[in-house]
Amino acid sequence: MLAAVKLVTKRLFTKHLLATNIATSGVFLAIGDIVCQKIEKIYKSDHKKHDWRRTGRMFAVGLVLGPANHYWYSMLDRFLSGTARRTIMKKIAADQLVAAPFMGTTFLFAMGLLEGSSFEKSAAEWKEKFPLIYLFDWVLWPPAQFINFTYLPTKYRVLYVSFITLLWDIMLSFIKHREPTHEVTEVHVSEVR
């Protein structure tokens, strides 16, 4: 039995690494939303049913972000190889200055698209919610990535990030689904003229 588990694990993290990374990204974003909704029910003391469509959208966006994460870590290791402190700091800086804004922006716009929001409404939501997402990113990810880049081989990076992402995803779901501090309205080009 143990040999079979080792064989499956080896295949998942070698031959099928991209598929593994895509699946784990989707699954962990969905789990993060499930946990977030459970916390919301306790915090809000409401008895609404679980919104499985919302969880499905989070899963779908996770599937979209999976390949980006997969190729990002491969590229970082190709251009910044090694575990010297200076190299790790460069990887963390690149992760925070390039990947974090891309992932946060993609998350908010993809969720808006799946919710049926217009580009303008998604942009207004991005303007309101992205700064908090990016701030939380700076608190969580540099220490997590230090561990990632120092101790883990490339093939396990997305899996590790997916586990850390569970906390991240709970916060993303919370920020994404909290009520706006002001009304985000549709803006049409014809209204501007």
pLDDT of 171 reads 87
Ranges of residues in the chain whose predicted pLDDT is under 50: 184-193
In a domain, 170, yes or no: yes
Among candidates 29, 117, 32, which has minimal Cα distance to 65? 29
pLDDT of 5 reads 60
In a domain, 60, yes or no: yes
d(CA 68, CA 63): 10
Number of structural domains in the chain: 1
In a domain, 64, yes or no: yes
How many CB atoms lie under 10 A from the CB of residue 180?
A: 11
pLDDT in tens, 153-186: 877 876 787 788 788 888 888 898 887 765 544 4
In a domain, 108, yes or no: yes
Full domain range(s) for residue 77: 2-178
pLDDT of 63 reads 94
pLDDT of 192 reads 42
In a domain, 189, yes or no: no
Instruction: Write the DSSP assignment of 99-141 as a string of letters.
Output: IHHHHHHHHHHHHHHHTT--HHHHHHHHHHHHHHHHHHHHHHH
Q: What global pTM score does this model have? A: 0.78
Is-contact 113 60, C-beta < 8 A?
A: no
